[in-house]
Structure 1
Amino acid sequence: MSGPREPGQSAFAAIQEIVNLLMADPGTDWDQVNIDGLRDHLVDMDNVTLHAAVKTERIEGGARFTVTSPDPAVAASITRMISAHAGTMDGVTGWRMTSMPLDTGAEMEVTGDAGEDAKIRALGFFGVMSFGMHHQAHHLALATGHNPHQH
């Protein structure tokens, strides 16, 4: 294909990717599609990635990440993202993840077996949040009206 390929903005690109998948799937249940829900989640991702402050503390077996913002909208995004991530990923990689909401965000502890602590600390909060390829399936679930955070 000649000509531009990039949609120009990552959240728009994520939405476009999901819309293209939905349009190509004859089994799409259009009564369940919720692109606005996906967009809300992408706003949360943007808020946490670009507007949150992270304090990292070494703990036995890993790290405690205190993620905060004085902006109430960003703090709410932090709480939603950390709670969902810890709940979804706890034990998946062999790491234990717990979260605790704070007035200005949330705290997440990530620990692993011997030798995993250095990896957890090296990845830091954003590396831990991005680990795995579950995000794309997660976005499709949100867009099709499913809540991937419920077990």
Structure 2
Amino acid sequence: MLLAPLLLAIVMATPVAAQHAHSSAGHTMGGPQETGQSAFAALAEIVAILQADPETDWERVDIAGLRRHLVDMDLLTADAVVTRMLRPEGARFEVRGAPRVLEAIRAMVPAHAPFLAAETGWDVETEDLDDGVALIVDGDAAQIQGLGFFGMMVIGAHHQEHHLMLARGAAPHR
């Protein structure tokens, strides 16, 4: 019977401790460091960078645009349906989804292809499909086939700079 009140006390104290840690100057306490779900954490990171930069042009800042992109990333990762066709040189990935997911696919896959090619040296092409986009990647066949479509989409350390450019109101794909 003592366990239930103890658990209730711990659960009730957690929000108070979290608020105290959040409101502390400099966030130097030993409390949680993660800002939350990944899109929220990415937004928090970018906002902190923008606030620390005295050159930030606040009239151009587009956090809503960055948020849309992060939603696209989430939709692509969670809801896209990928059909993989192995090729001796690599693979062809046909990526499809419901209408909102298809928007994310069309926004992200063609835009990522040149970054993937530059990072790996592989031959990378996209092809518009009536109901999706195909990503065709030839190069190190074993690695391409092992990584699959989602592994292809995360290659390259351009994502962070891309997010900062979006937030600053720049056109990162042009």
TM-score, normalised to structure 1's length?
A: 0.91
| Structure 2 Cα separation of the partners of residues 15 and 132 of structure 1 | 20
Q: CA deviation at 1:4?
A: 2.1
CA contact (8 A) 1:91 1:97 kept: no
Is the counterpart of residue 76 in structure 1 residue 95 in structure 2? Answer: no
Residue 19 (structure 2) aligns with: none
| Structure 2 Cα separation of the partners of residues 21 and 91 of structure 1 | 27
Alignment of 1:123-142 (within 5 A): 123-142=147-166
CA contact (8 A) 2:119 2:156 kept: no
Matched to 2:143, the amino acid is K
* Unpaired segments ≥5 residues, structure 2: 1-28
Residue 82 (structure 2) aligns with: 54
Identity of aligned residues (%): 51
* Unpaired segments ≥5 residues, structure 1: none
| Structure 2 Cα separation of the partners of residues 76 and 144 of structure 1 | 23
CA RMSD of aligned residues (A): 1.2
Runs of 4+ in 1 over 6 A off after TM superposition: none
Aligned residues: 146
By relative contact order (CA 8 Å, sep 6+), the higher-ranking structure is 1
In the TM superposition, what whole-angstrom CA distance separates every residue of 1:16-70 from its partner, at most 9, and x where no partner exists? 000000000001111211111100100110010000111111124111001111x
Q: Which has the higher helix share?
A: 2
Matched to 1:127, the amino acid is G
| Structure 2 Cα separation of the partners of residues 147 and 130 of structure 1 | 20
TM-score, normalised to structure 2's length?
A: 0.80
| Structure 2 Cα separation of the partners of residues 91 and 7 of structure 1 | 32
